[in-house]
Amino acid sequence: MKKHYIFTLIFSLLFSLSYSQTTVTAVAEGGYEAGIPINLYYNYSYGEVIYTQSEINKQGVIDQIQLYWDGSMSDTRTIKVWMGHTTETSFANDNDWISTSGLKEVYSGTLGVAAYGSAYWIPINLDSSFSYNNSDNLIIAFQDNTGSNEDNAAARFRIAATSDGNVRSIYKATDASQVSSTSPPQASARYSYVPSFKLRIKPLINAGGSVSGLNYATGSGPSPSQFISISGSTLDANITVTAPTNFEVSTNNSSFSDNLALTQSSGLVSSTAVYVRLKNGLSAGLYSGDISITSTNATTRTISLTGLVGTNYYVSTTGSNGNNGLSEANAFETLDHAVDNVPANNIINVGPGTFSADSDITINNSMIIKGSGRDKTIFDGSSGSGGFIAITASNVTIQDMTIQDYNLQTAYGTSANAGQTPGIIIGSGIGDTSSPSVLTVTLKNIKFYNQTSSVTRARGGAVHVQYNPSTSSNHTVNIE
């Protein structure tokens, strides 16, 4: 005797409320019936279905799917669901599976069906949402692992004929054992039908990554601006961009404010440049915060910003390390001396020319080191035997220079894990074996040229990032 389950029908009111805040798309709807995507007449089943881009025609985040049950009986099934993008348009034969190896698992749980007396839509709220790109077709895989069945072959889900006549459903059903989703056996059947199907698609916001280097010297703000690109699709409302404290935003790079709105049209905001900068009039120090990008029912996006207000110090080929470094006329002679003597959260401006007396520098304070241009400020290590710089502090920016001809000739320490390179070490001091903390470092517009090493354990000629064995967190290294 095949086993029946009792399912209490309490979904009606909750189901109707779930659609008030986002877009539901009917992809396919029909009155035929078949054992796809799940066949309750068997203990186990596995099936794959292709829905075309033209049937969906919406980009966004899928967080719920719906199947159309015939309402003939009650049962509770244990299922898994996967989603993915595909360029396939049909299943050519009974072994032409896509399999789940390249798909994303979006649901693992139960599916309850009820003897409602007539067909109705069953919502499945996904455990993990899926971002659909609206350019590829959508592949959905269903695996039923219940291990029991219903002695009624007529209890089925509703299906619809494929809009293009292609065979876009394939399934395997058995009473023997769970059907593999990664290497399915020969199919039981293929159909030029697909399950009647709806998608709930949440609004989608796209935005760029973090922004650093929003800096200026004390009394000369605001900082130069940088821009991020923001777009949206399937939107229910406009996009609101809110700057964190001490920063401001603009769409024209002229009029800045604490927040702004990007107006949607038919649910879309095309890619728009939003400019960000550090506000004028701030006291010396390091500033950071997250831009908040929101729209009704969309997942909030954040973009981290960092900037610095500090005193300008100067290094020049004609300077002297006996100077105070506070003007070009009173510049330091070497970067090494400047790094050792400039307080944290300040700016070291390095003039044009070739600097040949700087090596094995350690930066242990937050600061900006800014050359006069990649081909104008040159640090040349040909006369020495060490590397250039080791960075052990967070919020360090090095930019606009060439680092060339450093030849690491002597090993720092005896450990194979010691930080050593003729270029830049990030995360540890010279010769140290691990990083003491997690750092954020920006390297911008730097040319490395003819970097060499005679040391077997040297870690590359340009940049070596030292790991921290005590934490799973990574350093953040922005290379621009």
Query: Mean pLDDT lowest for which of 27-31, 48-52, 121-125?
Result: 27-31
Residue percentage of the chain with pLDDT more than 70: 88
Burial environment of residue 105 by CB neighbours within 10 A (0 to 12, 13 to 18, 19 or more): middle
Which of left, alpha, beta for 341 (phi over 0: left; psi -120 to 50: alpha)? alpha
**Which of the listed ranges 52-56, 233-237, 436-440 does the model predict with the highest average pLDDT?**
52-56
DSSP 3-state assignment of 54?
A: helix
What's the whole-number average pLDDT of the chain?
88
User: How many whole angstroms separate alpha carbon 386 and alpha carbon 338?
Assistant: 19
Closest listed residue to residue 426, CA positions, set 384, 401, 385, 397: 397
Q: Quick one: tokens of 280?
A: 């004028």
The residues, ordered by sequence, that sit 6+ positions from 347 with a Cβ below 8 Å of its Cβ are: 215, 217, 308, 310, 311, 312, 313, 367, 368, 370
- Model confidence at 149, pLDDT cuts 50, 70, 90, reads very high
User: How many whole angstroms separate alpha carbon 117 and alpha carbon 227?
Assistant: 58
Task: Annotate 355-389 with DSSP letters as a single string.
Answer: E-S--SEEE-S-EEEE-S-TTTEEEE-TT-SS-SE
pLDDT on residue 334: 97
Residue 59: C-alpha distances to residues 87, 148, 234 (Å): 16, 38, 7
- pLDDT of 346 above 80: yes
User: What tens digit of pLDDT does each residue of 352-391 get?
Assistant: 999 999 999 999 999 999 999 999 999 999 887 778 999 9
- Model confidence at 20, pLDDT cuts 50, 70, 90, reads very low
User: How many whole angstroms separate alpha carbon 1 and alpha carbon 148?
Assistant: 10
User: What tens digit of pLDDT does each residue of 50-103 get?
Assistant: 999 999 998 889 999 999 999 889 999 999 999 999 999 999 999 999 989 999
Q: What is the pTM assigned to this prediction?
A: 0.69
User: How many whole angstroms separate alpha carbon 173 and alpha carbon 170?
Assistant: 10
